[in-house]
Copies of this chain bind each other. A is one copy, B any other.
Amino acid sequence: MTTRDGRLARGDRTRTRVLDAAVVLATRNGLDGLSLGQVADALTISKSALFAHWRSKEELQLATIERAREQWLEQVISPALREPRGLRRLWALHRHRIAFYADRVLPGGCFFGNVQFEFNARQGPIHDRLAAILTDWLALIERLAGEAIALGELRPETDPALLAYEAEALGLAAVMQSRLLGPDAVYDHALRSMRDRLRALSTDPTLIKEHE
């Protein structure tokens, strides 16, 4: 779907524009509350034009999830993976996750936080995709924790799955509380809790301190 000189075809450029707007709107109003009319209005195109790119609303919703995942990979996971492996990479992942919403990259809060709660009691392809993404996210933290244990930076009795659960919990609460109560102390709490936890589990407490 590219022209002869390698640029993206018009359709592909439109698709990306649509999905970027859909991520913002779905973050604010939910994936179910996402209105095709609002998406179209935000881009000054017509509602029916959307059906030239996706067969149904559900297909657009699934494409929106994939777009949000791309943003998540680019802005949270990739920067963290550029850190030195082991404990520092684990700590960087948490910091980037918290900063991702502290900097308000996505207006309206955390896309995955909102959407996962929205679909946590439903069934269907959207639920399944969200569950797979969450599983991958937890598995990544577990893997990094395992690396840190193997490097001797975390105590051998550390439970990677438990640590992954705690990291996810602290990030989730940060997103929710910061939007509902204001971001004043929340991000500080999310960072301090994880730092305390990692220090308590680490063999060398100075490893975290210098990366604050």
CB distance from A209 to the nearest CB of B (A): 17
What secondary structure prevails in chain A residues at the interface with B? helix
Q: Is the CB of A181 within 8 A of B131?
A: yes
A123→B103 CA distance, assembly (Å): 20
Q: Is the CB of A173 within 8 A of B180?
A: no
Partner of A131, one of B122, B130, B131, B180: B180
Interface size classification for chain A: 35 or more
Partner of A117, one of B33, B113, B134, B166: B113
One complex includes copies of this chain to the number of 2
Q: Is the CB of B116 within 8 A of A118?
A: no
A186→B165 CA distance, assembly (Å): 8
Q: Is the CB of A120 within 8 A of B180?
A: yes
Instruction: Map CB proximity to B onto A183-211 as digits: 1 under 8 Å, 0 otherwise.
Output: 00110011011000000100000000000
Q: Is the CB of B177 within 8 A of A168?
A: yes
A28→B172 CA distance, assembly (Å): 20
